[in-house]
Amino acid sequence: MPYALCRFVFYLYNHDLYSERTFSQLVIIFAGGMRFDVTAIIYTNMLYFLMFLIPFKFRYSITYQTVGKYIYLITNSFALLTNCMDTVYFRNTFRRTTLSIFREFSNGEKIGAIVADALIRNWYLALVWLAMIALMAWRYGKPVDKSSIQTGNPRVHFTACTLGRLAGFSYPDCGNTQRIEQ
């Protein structure tokens, strides 16, 4: 949802560049962008996904889940900041930002100062970004209830859960992270 909101804000900010597009062309552009978003979400959250895919019981500890929450919020905050900044940066390059931006700024320019200046000049995008972060933090949920953890031989538990996940099956005692909504 935040990536779709970023795409909509991008369109509103740069709508004059798309004025000759028909509605159906814009729908195709948005659909293509959503495919890109899925890839970006997977890459951005790879560490987070791996943290909660492992079938060990320690991932139910409050500390582990809190660390996972902050990893999720920090990585996604950075990705969304990049997406919001791209809204402004696009007018200079007429292409979306990729990792090549780090090569462009590697000649000594202070990318932090440039980002800070752009956020100040485009304060409304900073507000959209902060609102998305606040919404993600609010919707994240509470830690998983520990009562669903199966007791028994950890090797058997690990093997069964790993094979089940690889086969595409889902078992409640393997720690499917059904979050309790606030």
Domain boundaries, the chain: 2-144
Those residues with Cβ within 8 angstroms of residue 99's Cβ, 6 or more apart along the chain or in another chain: none
pLDDT of 12 strictly over 70: yes
The pLDDT value given to residue 71: 95
Tokens standing for 180? 């309790």
On whether the CB atoms of residues 157 and 56 are closer than 8 A, the answer is: no
* Mean pLDDT confidence for 130-134: 93
Q: What is the pTM assigned to this prediction?
A: 0.70
* Better-predicted residue by pLDDT, 34 or 164: 34
On whether the CB atoms of residues 91 and 121 are closer than 8 A, the answer is: no
